[in-house]
Amino acid sequence: MGVQDCDRPRPIYSSLHDDPACAEIIDEFVVGVSARVDHLQDADSRGNLRELEGLAAQLALDAQKMGFGPLAEVAAAVERACADGYAKPAHDGVVALTEVALRIRLSHRGAMS
């Protein structure tokens, strides 16, 4: 294993990835996760905590359903920060969501190698 391998983020897989019945819907979720995080980033950049809260809540729910616990946890933390009016922790959570989304995309078939 080279140094580059150590620096590369590790993929995050769905806890449902072994269930063939879920494969298509998980693929759809993974393909769309980057766009969803983009919308969260847009709401964050506008300082719209109410919109950010709603987007984060929906992402947390959907991520949980799709078996992506780490994404659900971070999205729920963003939702709570927004609900409490804490813009800085909400922003930090959006940054963390970006990293988690990248790691989820790495788990997808045909992901960057």
Task: Give the pLDDT confidence of 44-66 residue by residue, as tens digits.
Answer: 999 999 999 999 999 999 999 99
Taking residues 71-83, what's their average pLDDT? Answer: 98
Q: What percent of the chain has pLDDT over 70?
A: 90
Q: Could you give the count of Cα atoms lying within 13 Å of 77 in the half-sphere of its Cβ?
A: 16
Per-residue b/e over 22-45, b at no fewer than 16 CB within 10 Å?
beeebeebbeebeebbeebbebbe
CATH topology of domain 20-106: Four Helix Bundle (Hemerythrin (Met), subunit A) (1.20.120)
Assign 9 a pLDDT band (cuts: 50, 70, 90): confident
SS3 2: coil
Taking residues 80-100, what's their average pLDDT? Answer: 97
pLDDT number for residue 66: 96
Structure-token pair, residue 57:
């809540």
DSSP conformational letter for 8 = S
Structure-token pair, residue 102:
């990248």
> How many Å is the maximal CA-CA distance in the chain?
45
pTM: 0.88
